[in-house]
Structure 1
Amino acid sequence: MAQSNYTISGYVRSATGNEPLVGATVGVPSMNVGTITNENGFYSISLPPGSYTLQASYVGYQTSSWPVVVSNVNQTVAITMTAAANQLKEVVVETNTLEQKLNQNQMSVEKLTTREVKLLPALFGEVDLLKTLQLKPGVQSGGEGTSGLYVRGGGPDQNLVLLDDAIVYNASHLFGFFSVFNSDAVESVELYKGGFPAEFGGRLSSVVDVKMREGNQERISATGGIGLIASRLTIDGPIVKDKASFIVSGRRTYSDIFTRQINRLKEGDEDYNPIPDYYFYDLNGKVNYKLGEDDELSLSGYFGRDFFGFKDDDFKFGFDWGNKVAALSWRHKFSPRLYANTTASSSSYQYTIKNEINVFSFRLTSDIKDFGLKTDFDLILDGGHSLKFGAMASKHDFTIGRLNFDSEDNSISLGAGSNYKATEFGTYVSDDYLINARWSLNYGLRFSGFNSGGKTYVGLEPRASAKYNISESVALKGSFASMMQYIHLVANSGASLPTDVWYPSNPGVYPQRSQQVALGISKLFGAGRFLLTNEVYYKWMRRQIDFRDGANLFVNDNLEQEFLFGKGESYGNELYFEKINGKTTGWVGYTLSWTYRTFPDINEGRRFPTRYDRRHDISVVLLHKLNKRLSLTGAFVYGTGNAYSLPVARFAFQDVEGENPSVVPIYSDRNSFRLAPFHRLDLGVVLKMRPKHGESDLTFSVYNAYNRRNPYFVYFEQLKDEQDQETLNFQAKQVSLFPVIPSVTYNFKF
């Protein structure tokens, strides 16, 4: 007769504030059995009767062990973990957390906590989660002054960005220099570059899963910072002790206060050009309520907006954009083996351009609004099987290029624009199967669909990944993933203004599709102090969208006529070396990659590199702790210059006798030239203060320490004769954004 197994389950929480730890590893090393906590910190393990040592590990926390005795009954074991800077007294403390990364089944995953991010030097003293992700192999930015992530050859619209399971459509502030995620309000960020779990869908290239903090359940606390251009404040604490908690976080830049004052002082000066106003703000909030031992509710929200404005005597220009996100979640434990999480969410993104010239004004608006519902189940079975299954549905409302044009006396009033509605749905099932001590599998299937304009598209998206431990220190991993994407970004997110227009699949626009395979090997060495990982990948992309030359992307009632469709491919090798223990920690990442697109009506059908094709991409991040109070940090990045198109010749013609001739550029293959390589060194010093209450530090940082003038874009200047009449030649000029920028930020917590 087969021996019965019994379940040990519970929540893994931080000792400070009692917040759940997402993605913590819980296992029994002697049995080679383990699991990872879900998005709410819940874990469940099935074991036969006996005495065991239960071990929990999490990045930034002490790896700890507890003795447990499994008898003829299921048990609940709550696990509390202490930050690595503190010492535990009643449990065994271990230091090897790289083993967790070696043995996780999922490959091509990067995980960050705010504890790690806050140690790195940052632009203007503001740490940023997404910018830190760009220091990982396989992840690129478009360069300074551009927004969006470019993951393994995908475009910025091919990343699914989630905040507590609600979609964030534009995750950037300040034209891409900052993300919308306030680090004080975020618990963790997970980036999936490949081998996507079946519960995620709707994008081709990556998933960025951001989880907000739940708030301190024991006492009121405040965290914040005062910097050169922005300040932030986060307050959290209990509503009802050990039952309900809250967190509220806000951030605002204030450079506009100074620019407006300068403009007032210079008012009336005919030779003075006014400085544009710019500022952004964002607000985060979350409330958690424990209904009982098996039920919890949480309500989280985000609201943020950017404002850019310019005003002259006869001209006024304004531009603003931002997100609104809300999510209501109900978490229910049916039994120690069955757990459910149901989320209703709302998300919207809108941008508006306002322009006034003398007596005329116009207003251009585009937005997307979503309402969604999803349910996820976790089921632990005997025999090493952990099932996850669920379903989702969402409703999309698109407003594209809504234009209102008016005169001051209302004698002229015009309007234009398009509205579309769509429904998206999906269901999935996956199994995380621990075969034995060496082999583990994760396989699943997602069925998705989309309806708009009377047309319904459906697709099957198989996913699979496998891990084989050659030895205790070496693991081989492989994955395959198929993804569908039903909505498309019309405007280029790499533009200086983020005029993002989202467009649905319909009878004339097919959904995008990708398949990706990846193979990797991980090696733990140096007594577990170092981890070396190497991954190779190949990704095929179909039904990619580009635009005809001279396309009118705005105020166009037939936008589809501007679309061109083609295919893409990306392949490369990612090498990663990491050390997370000791006085000196950090990582080195190197990516060698190729990214191409092929369109029948572009470049005469010949394959061409994308603008963000980057042959070499290197990042070096080091953190050194001199003593208990003083730490040094540094980050160096190098990347091959972005591909772009330049005219190789020009011809002049004169259509009217006596007038200056017109000059027409002649281009060669698309993106056949390269900007100069991009490289930059950032340095930082963190000095911990000794306040009477709480914690505080001064963070000194230098952005672009050796003043590298990296290219933002290139333009051509006409060189004319002495009479400024005839064009003699054209000279290329490079525009750069940031010189060396020092900054200081005071951070506090009490």
Structure 2
Amino acid sequence: MNPNVLMKKKFLVLLMLLLSLSTYVNAQNQKSKYIRISGYMFDDKTKETLIGATIYEMKSKLGTTTNNYGFFSLSIPMGEVEFFVSYIGYEKILIKQKLNHDTTFNIYLKPSSSTLQEVVIEDKSSAQRFIEDPTPGKIVINPSTVTSLPSLTGESDLLKSLQLLPGVKSGTEGTTGLYVRGGNVDQNLYLIDGIPIYNPNHLMGFISTFNTDAIKNIEFYKGSFPASYGGKVSSVVDVRMKDGNNKRIQGEASIGLISAKLNLEGPIIKDKTTFSISGRRTYIDILTKPLVAYMNKTNDTDVDFGYFFSDVNLKLNHKFSASNRLTASLYWGEDKFTFSSEDVYSSSTDKSTANVKWGNLIGTIDWAYEINNRLFSNLSFSYNRYRSSMNSIFESTYVENGSNYDYNYEFDFLSGIEDWSMKNNYNFYLNGWNSLNFGVNYTYHTYSPEITSVLAVDGTTIDEKYNVNNR
């Protein structure tokens, strides 16, 4: 080989190595000028974490938002920094500091005053405009906004509030169904603390299952929702429940036109363990009793019927350390309709009873762990059940040819779905507004589609018994 050609090849290889080394050193120098800040955002009054709060560095125009556990992580240039911190329903703050190394700190925001200020129309800087403009397709709603909206029954309702948003239509007048941008009412995904709830309604669709007294944060996606939410095609309603006041025990009770509510929250171990419990029940069955008694007296009958729904939200939160916490939550809700009647004739007595129940049961245990200042993990195990059942019994005692006979007929119906789930999610914070979310989700479904059982008994003889559509 020509020595000149060989020399040129060696020179080119050496030049490429030098360029690569120079690029690497320059990258390291650039990297060394950046530091990472991380921490949590809290409500200054209750010390609950804030979900979706924004922290924005004004000079570098870099920012991020807190995750579902109030954690944030951001890489910024070292030196003099100005943080603009904002969250819906809270006062905005500006923090000025000089930072020369990785720093961890917590931020406490105060709820904004309800006093209306004068209206000032002004041009915004590009920084503030970027922060306050909503993410396409996503709307964050303050629970206090929902409770302040007027309601016909005096019962504040999340889903009816969402019907007021552009791109959302209601179905039958007065019901809570959502038709989002042409989608059907069954194409929406409803979540309580990340767990699907299959029937989000009470009272045949007129009241939603979400008790606004127990809600901490609401995120509504009309489109462009993340793939982590799964396969629903219309919208996502992601509701997070309160962890509980970390400073003192407090509660509230309210009585409406058709229901009463009670909410209690506070610390079990101060700065360590908190609880939040909310309950709600209608008293339609109690209100209708005088009417039923009047009808029986007027028509000389013996009829009784009633309807009510009730639900309970319970959440326990324990903090092992600043970066390690365990949460257990429970939701139970049920609608129940009962009917009974008795007719007495000259030669027979007939009794009929019917019980119809439907509702949800959700339980989850969640472990959240901050692995380092840019990697956050949460592991959860959950159980989810929806069940609709009906039981109807007819009993007849009659006299025929001087002999007494008994005839019983019983009909049972059950339909439902049961899930056991495991999730392990990670949030890896890159630079600026960019982050990488990944994880694994496994769900074991058990379907019970319309299980029917019929039993007819004449005396001591079973005439007919069969079951269809076992799960």
TM-score normalized with structure 2 length: 0.82
- Is 1:308 aligned to 2:310, yes or no? no
Is 1:229–1:255's contact at 8 Å kept on the other side of the alignment?
Answer: yes
| 1:63 aligned partner | 92
- Is 1:360 aligned to 2:397, yes or no? no
Once the two structures are TM-superposed, the CA of residue 408 in structure 1 deviates from its matched residue by 4.8
Q: Equivalents in 1 of 2:390, 2:426: separation in Å?
A: 43
- Is 1:12 aligned to 2:41, yes or no? yes
Q: Equivalents in 1 of 2:203, 2:334: separation in Å?
A: 10
Is 1:404–1:413's contact at 8 Å kept on the other side of the alignment?
Answer: no
| 2:142 aligned partner | 113
| 1:417 aligned partner | 468
Is 2:362–2:385's contact at 8 Å kept on the other side of the alignment?
Answer: yes
Once the two structures are TM-superposed, the CA of residue 275 in structure 1 deviates from its matched residue by 7.4
Is 1:145–1:175's contact at 8 Å kept on the other side of the alignment?
Answer: no
Alignment of 1:95-106 (within 5 A): 99=129, 102-104=132-134, 106=135
Q: Equivalents in 1 of 2:169, 2:131: separation in Å?
A: 22
Once the two structures are TM-superposed, the CA of residue 124 in structure 1 deviates from its matched residue by 1.1
What is the DSSP-based 3-state SS (H/G/I as helix, E as strand, rest coil) of the residue aligned with 2:243? Answer: coil
Deviations 1:587-635 (Å, cap 9, x if unpaired)? xxxxxxxxxxxxxxxxxxxxxxxxxxxxxxxxxxxxxxxxxxxxxxxxx
Alignment of 1:71-150 (within 5 A): 71=100, 73-85=101-113, 99=129, 102-104=132-134, 106-144=135-173, 146=175, 148-150=177-179
More strand by share: 1
Which has the higher relative contact order, 1 or 2, with Cα contacts under 8 A spaced 6 or more apart? 1
- Is 1:331 aligned to 2:360, yes or no? no
What is the DSSP-based 3-state SS (H/G/I as helix, E as strand, rest coil) of the residue aligned with 1:204? Answer: coil
- Is 1:345 aligned to 2:373, yes or no? no
Once the two structures are TM-superposed, the CA of residue 300 in structure 1 deviates from its matched residue by 0.6
Q: Equivalents in 2 of 1:347, 1:340: separation in Å?
A: 22
Deviations 1:31-65 (Å, cap 9, x if unpaired)? 21111111111111111111111121111111111
Structure 1 residues 78 and 362: CA distance shift in structure 2, 3 A = same
| 2:436 aligned partner | 387
Is 2:84–2:94's contact at 8 Å kept on the other side of the alignment?
Answer: yes
Is 1:229–1:253's contact at 8 Å kept on the other side of the alignment?
Answer: yes
Q: Could you tell me which amino acid in structure 1 is paired with residue 113 of structure 2? A: A
Deviations 1:411-444 (Å, cap 9, x if unpaired)? 2342333345xxxxxxxxxxxxxxxxxxxxxxxx
Q: Equivalents in 2 of 1:383, 1:211: separation in Å?
A: 26
Once the two structures are TM-superposed, the CA of residue 332 in structure 1 deviates from its matched residue by 0.5
Q: Equivalents in 1 of 2:207, 2:38: separation in Å?
A: 39
> What percent of counterpart residues are identical?
37
Is 1:148–1:171's contact at 8 Å kept on the other side of the alignment?
Answer: no
Alignment of 1:150-169 (within 5 A): 150-169=179-198
Q: Could you tell me which amino acid in structure 2 is paired with residue 418 of structure 1? A: N
- Is 1:396 aligned to 2:433, yes or no? no
Once the two structures are TM-superposed, the CA of residue 306 in structure 1 deviates from its matched residue by 0.4
The range that moved more, 134-143 or 213-222, is 134-143
| 2:10 aligned partner | none
Q: Equivalents in 1 of 2:388, 2:130: separation in Å?
A: 42
> How much is the aligned-residue C-alpha RMSD, in angstroms?
2.2
User: 5+ residue gaps in structure 1?
Assistant: 88-95, 421-750
What is the DSSP-based 3-state SS (H/G/I as helix, E as strand, rest coil) of the residue aligned with 1:118? Answer: helix
Is 2:245–2:275's contact at 8 Å kept on the other side of the alignment?
Answer: yes
Once the two structures are TM-superposed, the CA of residue 173 in structure 1 deviates from its matched residue by 0.6
Q: Equivalents in 2 of 1:345, 1:126: separation in Å?
A: 29
What is the DSSP-based 3-state SS (H/G/I as helix, E as strand, rest coil) of the residue aligned with 2:322? Answer: coil
| 1:196 aligned partner | 225
Q: Equivalents in 2 of 1:137, 1:393: separation in Å?
A: 35
Q: Equivalents in 2 of 1:238, 1:192: separation in Å?
A: 33
Is 1:398–1:419's contact at 8 Å kept on the other side of the alignment?
Answer: no
Q: Could you tell me which amino acid in structure 2 is paired with residue 169 of structure 1? A: Y
Structure 1 residues 68 and 103: CA distance shift in structure 2, 3 A = farther
Q: Could you tell me which amino acid in structure 2 is paired with residue 54 of structure 1? A: F
| 1:233 aligned partner | 262
Q: Could you tell me which amino acid in structure 2 is paired with residue 320 of structure 1? A: K
Q: Equivalents in 1 of 2:174, 2:261: separation in Å?
A: 23
Structure 1 residues 229 and 86: CA distance shift in structure 2, 3 A = closer
Of 283, 289, 299 in structure 2, the residue corresponding to residue 254 of structure 1 is 283
Q: Could you tell me which amino acid in structure 2 is paired with residue 109 of structure 1? A: K
Once the two structures are TM-superposed, the CA of residue 145 in structure 1 deviates from its matched residue by 5.9
Once the two structures are TM-superposed, the CA of residue 255 in structure 1 deviates from its matched residue by 1.5
Q: Could you tell me which amino acid in structure 2 is paired with residue 237 of structure 1? A: G
Is 2:222–2:234's contact at 8 Å kept on the other side of the alignment?
Answer: yes
Q: Equivalents in 2 of 1:315, 1:142: separation in Å?
A: 35
Alignment of 1:601-616 (within 5 A): none
| 2:354 aligned partner | 317
Alignment of 1:475-486 (within 5 A): none
Structure 1 residues 272 and 193: CA distance shift in structure 2, 3 A = farther
Structure 1 residues 113 and 404: CA distance shift in structure 2, 3 A = same
Is 2:175–2:207's contact at 8 Å kept on the other side of the alignment?
Answer: no
Q: Equivalents in 2 of 1:265, 1:181: separation in Å?
A: 35
Q: Could you tell me which amino acid in structure 2 is paired with residue 393 of structure 1? A: Y
Once the two structures are TM-superposed, the CA of residue 271 in structure 1 deviates from its matched residue by 7.4
From the CA coordinates, give the structure whose radius of gyration is larger.
Answer: 2
What is the DSSP-based 3-state SS (H/G/I as helix, E as strand, rest coil) of the residue aligned with 1:132? Answer: helix
Once the two structures are TM-superposed, the CA of residue 380 in structure 1 deviates from its matched residue by 1.4
Of 171, 174, 183 in structure 1, the residue corresponding to residue 212 of structure 2 is 183
Is 1:25–1:100's contact at 8 Å kept on the other side of the alignment?
Answer: no
What is the DSSP-based 3-state SS (H/G/I as helix, E as strand, rest coil) of the residue aligned with 1:258? Answer: helix
What is the DSSP-based 3-state SS (H/G/I as helix, E as strand, rest coil) of the residue aligned with 1:85? Answer: coil
| 1:208 aligned partner | 237
What is the DSSP-based 3-state SS (H/G/I as helix, E as strand, rest coil) of the residue aligned with 1:299? Answer: strand
Once the two structures are TM-superposed, the CA of residue 270 in structure 1 deviates from its matched residue by 2.0
Once the two structures are TM-superposed, the CA of residue 276 in structure 1 deviates from its matched residue by 4.1
Alignment of 1:273-672 (within 5 A): 276-313=305-342, 314-358=351-395, 359-382=408-431, 385-409=434-458, 411-420=462-471
Alignment of 1:701-720 (within 5 A): none
Q: Could you tell me which amino acid in structure 2 is paired with residue 412 of structure 1? A: D
Is 1:165–1:327's contact at 8 Å kept on the other side of the alignment?
Answer: no
Deviations 1:490-538 (Å, cap 9, x if unpaired)? xxxxxxxxxxxxxxxxxxxxxxxxxxxxxxxxxxxxxxxxxxxxxxxxx
Structure 1 residues 266 and 407: CA distance shift in structure 2, 3 A = same
| 2:67 aligned partner | 38
Q: Equivalents in 2 of 1:392, 1:186: separation in Å?
A: 25
| 2:7 aligned partner | none
Q: Equivalents in 2 of 1:85, 1:253: separation in Å?
A: 33
Structure 1 residues 63 and 383: CA distance shift in structure 2, 3 A = closer
Is 1:397–1:419's contact at 8 Å kept on the other side of the alignment?
Answer: no
The range that moved more, 108-117 or 325-334, is 108-117
Deviations 1:53-84 (Å, cap 9, x if unpaired)? 1121111111111112221x211121111111
Once the two structures are TM-superposed, the CA of residue 235 in structure 1 deviates from its matched residue by 0.6
Q: Equivalents in 1 of 2:104, 2:281: separation in Å?
A: 43
